[in-house]
């Protein structure tokens, strides 16, 4: 069976984390050369080395995506090493557990917007010329169910909502170049960071599970598989979409009479 991303190159931000590392490994397994970007250098280098040891092509670069020069260097090096770019995955986040707007810390708000909204803006800006040169490509941006219903974290929710509008505009503006832009909105996903948090609140976690019709939270690979579809030519007529991967959370719970 042919590899679904054979001959393609991807930049994946936040690649050291649970979802980002799952996407990096999966894309590489499907024949994609992967540039991993993160600020967790030890974890990022480990994932890149795992990919190379399995016969894949990968490089890791430290990149704070809120910093324009670091973003520029990331894309220049990716194009120089692999000859171009076909796929961008905007996945990196910053979440400091901010809360209601009246109690919000200004510095936390600013940093969250910098990473979660400005960062994808910068990455997309630098990716577009490379995608144009390649004759098209796919931009996949990780938002959140937080963007679609009222659920905690003022700054994070604001940034994730902004991503939907911004990336749908990219779909409209650059479709003529055969550049597709889609957004994934995951529900709660069992990353290490997520589970470390919920282990402190077992009663709250039980209530969280009850919100999901499937009575469980998601796995990083379940998000990665959807991203693979959007990165591949199988989704060649899919752009401007907001794809919910949430175990039925937004559908709501069964109503009992």
pLDDT tens profile 42-70 = 999 999 999 999 999 999 999 999 999 99
CATH number, residue 91: 3.40.50.720
Can you give the pLDDT at residue 38?
98
Can you give the pLDDT at residue 53?
98
Instruction: Flag whether 257 is in a domain.
Output: no
Instruction: Flag whether 215 is in a domain.
Output: no
Q: In degrees rounded to 5, what are phi and psi of residue 141?
A: -120, 130
Average pLDDT over residues 99-104: 84
d(CA 179, CA 242): 16
Instruction: Flag whether 151 is in a domain.
Output: yes
Element (H, E) at 243: strand 242-245
Of the chain, the percentage scoring pLDDT greater than 70 comes to 98
- The residues, any chain, with a CB within 8 Å of residue 256's CB and separated by 6 or more, are none
Point out the residues that are catalytic: 156
Tokens of 36: 């991993």
Region label for 136, one of left (φ > 0), alpha (ψ between -120 and 50) or beta (otherwise): left
Can you give the pLDDT at residue 214?
95
Asked if the model's pLDDT at residue 135 lies above 90, the reply is: yes
What is the tens place of the pLDDT at every residue in 206-219?
A: 999 999 999 999 99
Instruction: Flag whether 64 is in a domain.
Output: yes
- In this structure, of 20-29, 101-110, 229-238, the range with the lowest mean pLDDT score is 101-110
Per residue, the 3-state secondary structure of 80-105, as one string, reads HHHCCCCEEEECCCCCCCCCCHHHCC
Can you give the pLDDT at residue 245?
97
d(CA 40, CA 192): 14
Instruction: Flag whether 55 is in a domain.
Output: yes
Can you give the pLDDT at residue 103?
84
Average pLDDT over residues 9-35: 98
Can you give the pLDDT at residue 197?
82
Asked if the model's pLDDT at residue 176 lies above 70, the reply is: yes
d(CA 79, CA 88): 12
Q: Are 24 and 228 in contact (CB under 8 A)?
A: no
Entry pTM: 0.95
* Local confidence band at 150 (pLDDT 50, 70, 90 cut-offs): confident
d(CA 110, CA 112): 5
Average pLDDT over residues 228-243: 98
Asked if the model's pLDDT at residue 255 lies above 70, the reply is: no
Domain that holds residue 42: 9-188+220-243
Can you give the pLDDT at residue 1?
67
Can you give the pLDDT at residue 196?
85
Instruction: Flag whether 166 is in a domain.
Output: yes
**What is the tally of structural domains in the chain?**
1
Asked if the model's pLDDT at residue 246 lies above 90, the reply is: yes
| Helix, strand, coil percentages for the chain (3-state, nearest 5) | 50, 15, 35
- The residues, any chain, with a CB within 8 Å of residue 225's CB and separated by 6 or more, are 26
Instruction: Flag whether 174 is in a domain.
Output: yes
d(CA 97, CA 99): 6
Instruction: Flag whether 164 is in a domain.
Output: yes
């Amino acid at each position: 069976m042919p590899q679904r991303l054979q001959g393609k190159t991807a930049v994946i931000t936040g690649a050291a984390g649970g979802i980002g590392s799952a996407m990096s490994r999966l894309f590489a397994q499907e024949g994609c050369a992967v540039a991993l970007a993160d600020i967790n250098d030890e974890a990022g280098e480990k994932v890149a080395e795992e990919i190379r040891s399995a016969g894949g092509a990968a490089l890791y670069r430290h990149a704070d995506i809120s910093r324009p020069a670091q973003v520029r260097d990331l894309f220049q090096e990716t194009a120089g090493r692999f000859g171009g770019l076909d796929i961008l995955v905007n996945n990196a986040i910053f979440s400091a557990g901010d809360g209601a707007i009246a109690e919000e810390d200004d510095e936390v708000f600013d940093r969250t917007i910098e990473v979660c909204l400005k960062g994808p803006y910068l990455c997309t800006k630098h990716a577009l010329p490379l995608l144009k040169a390649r004759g098209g490509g796919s931009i996949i941006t990780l938002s959140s169910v937080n963007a679609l219903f009222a659920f905690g974290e003022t700054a994070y929710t604001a940034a994730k909502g902004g991503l939907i509008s911004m990336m749908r505009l990219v779909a409209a503006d650059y479709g003529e170049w055969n550049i597709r832009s889609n957004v994934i909105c995951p529900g709660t996903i069992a990353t290490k960071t997520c589970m470390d948090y919920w282990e402190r609140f077992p009663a709250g976690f039980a209530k969280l599970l009850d919100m999901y019709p499937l009575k469980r939270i998601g796995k990083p690979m379940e998000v990665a598989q959807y991203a693979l579809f959007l990165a591949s030519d199988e989704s060649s007529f899919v752009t401007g979409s907001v794809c919910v991967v949430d175990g039925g959370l937004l559908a709501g719970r069964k109503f009992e009479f």
